[in-house]
Structure 1
Amino acid sequence: MLRFLVRRSLGAMVIILLISAITFFLFFAVPSEPAQLACGKNCDPDAIRIINHNLGLDDPVPVQYWHYLVGIFAGRDFDIGHCSAPCLGYSFRNDQPVWETILDRYPTTLSLAVGGTVVFLVVGVSIGMIAAARRGTFADKFLSSLSLVGNSMQIYFVGTIALWLLVDSWGVLDRPEYVPVTQDPVGWFSGMLLPWLVLSIIFIANYSRMTRSLMIEQLDEDHVRTARAKGMSHRTVFFRYAWRGAIAPIVTLVGIDMGSLFGGAMVTEFTFTLHGLGRLAVDSVTQKDLPMLMGVMLFSCTAIVIANIIVDALYAVIDPRVRLA
């Protein structure tokens, strides 16, 4: 297991390095002047030259990238101040440290990802298991049709309708906003409940359909039939044998989805005006803010890679047939 984790960690570092290089060099292919963006419209050449020097933009692009990598591990000195490790630079727009901005925005994204995952995992898997247990009945057909409808929905459409009905018209739920859970747990829950529900709609559809298919497949396996022939109860066969065989692919999907959500749920954050990493990434692209964009990309990539490593390691625990050789 230790060798596997070390090998996967080294591979993850290579992936993150490649993504950072591609993002960094593609930015300079865009016909724009970062110093001009940082300075504004009414800016003379001397001011642009000073900004380029302060931000290290007057060096060759490969040198800038090398300084960027060194700053992540050892910190970096700018004319505007020292940036401690992990240094992701300063924003071109407001001269704020990128790492501090990410840490300030990430609790919103983390709350959205964790809460949404709990909702769609519990509800989606439960619906799929009920449909598989009632295969061919009205309940199975109804739940399968409901999942198909949910899979066809879009977050920005459902979110807008839900805001209008549940918040503005009926007043059933509070208007979405992020409140630190350590400051007000009740306000945190009520402010994030609607985004959790809307975010989970599409995921619930995917997980219910996948769980149903996997459970039906497992219920037709020979070892499950043998357990039935031995006189075991339906509950024991369903949960001890069929469910255990179907859980591995579901765990894989959870790891991928959670990694993506930890990187930022852009559409959901925009729909409910939540200031998380997803919204920060979009703003960085539109403003051509390279340090902020690079920081969000690296942070999101790291979250996805770590989630996949954890999922692969859990395979050995869930399925004894898996060997991490």
Structure 2
Amino acid sequence: MVQFITKQILVALGQILVVATIVFLLLRFMPGDPAVLVLGSERGGDPEAVALMQEKLGLHQSVFVQYVQWLTDLLQLDFGNSLFNNTPISEYLLERLPKTIELAVAAILIGSIVGVTLGIIAAVKRGGIIDMIVSSIAAAGLSFPVYVTGTVFILIISLQLNILPASGYTDITDDPIDHFKKLLLPAVTISLPLISAIARMTRSSMLEVLHREFVRTLRAKGLPEKILLIKHVFRNAVISVVTVIGLELANLIGGTVLIEFLFNWPGLSTLLVDAINDRDYPLIQGTVIVIAAFYILINRTVELIYGLMDPRTR
């Protein structure tokens, strides 16, 4: 088991290093001079001012020297400063990251609870009207883009019915009730595709287990149906469901760009969009690396959980 955990940690560190290197090289070869962008249109045409700014930013050194220095700082969790206001990037990340994690966790909780419940019901009632309804809901949830669903929710739930706020963010310490009101609508919007994916996986995994020989044997011995479903069938089917949930959570960390923008939720995704629009290279680097690192770490964690639940996968 120790060897399995060590392998997962080393793989995660290697993947993060590869992602960091790719991000660094791509941004270095993008058109445009960061020094000119920092100086602005007035001073950007002055070669002497540009040269001084390049030296200040370390751009006068070779790409290899820049990479070594940047990687050294990165190992110390020093992402540098923003080009435009000289604010440490770690401050931006520490401010925005919890908001994105909160939104993603809320969505995955809603998606997991509703999706697993619907999947179990559909598997137990397979072939009937309930199964058809659940399958139709799952297909519809995967068919509509989240920005379409979010727009419809805003128009109906917020503007017409006035049940929940349309957008915005309130700190939980200022007003907990208003905070959760503004969290609920974007979380539900994101969770709809998750509900569909988790429900379909739960249903298919449950049906696969229900057709195994040991289930027929337990039924023949008179084991109550509820105990059979919960203790034996769902327990064997949950491994695939956990894998889907973990992968969906990883996707949510970096896949909330449209929803955060639509609902004006100040998370990592909106920070990345703002950094790209401003061509703030250090901020882009830091944000992308943090998103990628979370994606990788969650995937590795899912692999560890998978190995703990099913020793054969080690």
Same fold (TM over 0.5): yes
Equivalents in 1 of 2:252, 2:94: separation in Å? 16
Residue 97 of structure 2 is matched in structure 1 by 106
Which residue among 188, 192, 214 is the counterpart of 1:201?
A: 192
Distance 1:239 1:17, change over 3 A: same
Partner of 1:317: 308
| Mapped pair 1:152 → 2:143 | yes
* Letter matched to residue 115 of structure 1: A
Q: Assess if the C-alpha contact under 8 Å between 1:38 and 1:94 holds in 2.
A: no
> Structure 1: which 5+ residue stretches go unaligned?
74-84
> Aligned pair in 2 of structure 1 residues 289, 184: CA closer, same or farther (>3 Å)?
same
Q: Does 1:224 pair with 2:241? A: no
Match of 1:27 in 2: 27
Q: How well do the aligned residues superpose, as a CA RMSD in angstroms?
A: 1.5
The aligned residue for residue 237 of structure 2 is: 246
TM-score between the two structures when normalised by the length of structure 1: 0.91
Superimposed CA distance per residue, residues 277-313 of structure 1 (whole angstroms, 9 cap, x where no aligned partner): 1112222233332211111121112111221222122
The structure-2 alpha-carbon separation of the partners of 1:89 and 1:275, relative to structure 1 and needing over 3 Å to count, comes to: same
Q: Which runs of 5+ in 2 are unaligned?
A: none
**Residue 94 of structure 1 corresponds to which residue in structure 2?**
85
**Equivalent residues of 2:250, 2:299 under 8 A apart:** yes
Equivalent runs, 1:277-292 vs 2, <5 Å: 277-292=268-283
- Distance in 2 between the 1:112 and 1:130 partners? 27
* Residue equivalent to 1:36: 36
Deviation string, structure 1 residues 70-97 (Cα, Å, up to 9, x no partner) = 1123xxxxxxxxxxx4210112233221
* Equivalent residue for 1:66, pick from 61, 65, 68: 68
Residue in 2 that maps onto 1:2:
2
- Give me the TM-score of the superposition, normalised by structure 2: 0.94
Contact 2:104 2:253 in 1 (8 A): yes
Q: Per the alignment, in what secondary structure is the counterpart of residue 266 of structure 2?
A: coil
| Alignment partners' CA distance in 2, 1:187 and 1:25 | 43
Relative contact order higher in (CA < 8 Å, ≥ 6 apart): 2
- Structure 1's 309 and 12: CA in aligned 2 closer, same or farther, altered over 3 A? same
Q: Which residue of 1 is the match for residue 134 of structure 2?
A: 143
Describe the superposition over 1:211-247 as per-residue Cα deviations: whole angstroms up to 9, x where unpaired.
1111111110111111111110111111111101111
Q: Is the Cα contact below 8 Å between 1:109 and 1:264 reproduced in 2?
A: no
After TM superposition, the structure 1 = structure 2 runs for residues 255-270 of structure 1, keeping only pairs within 5 Å, are 255-263=246-254, 265-270=256-261
Asked if the contact 1:264/1:277 (under 8 Å) is kept, the reply is: no
> Shift of the alpha carbon at 1:123?
0.6
Q: Which residue of 1 aligns with 2:56?
A: 54
Greater CA drift, 140-149 or 37-46: 37-46
TM-superposed deviation, 1:193: 0.5
C-alpha displacement at 1:177, in angstroms? 2.5
Cα drift, residue 120 of structure 1: 0.6
Q: Percent identity?
A: 33
Q: CA deviation at 1:137?
A: 0.8
Letter in 2 for 1:66: V
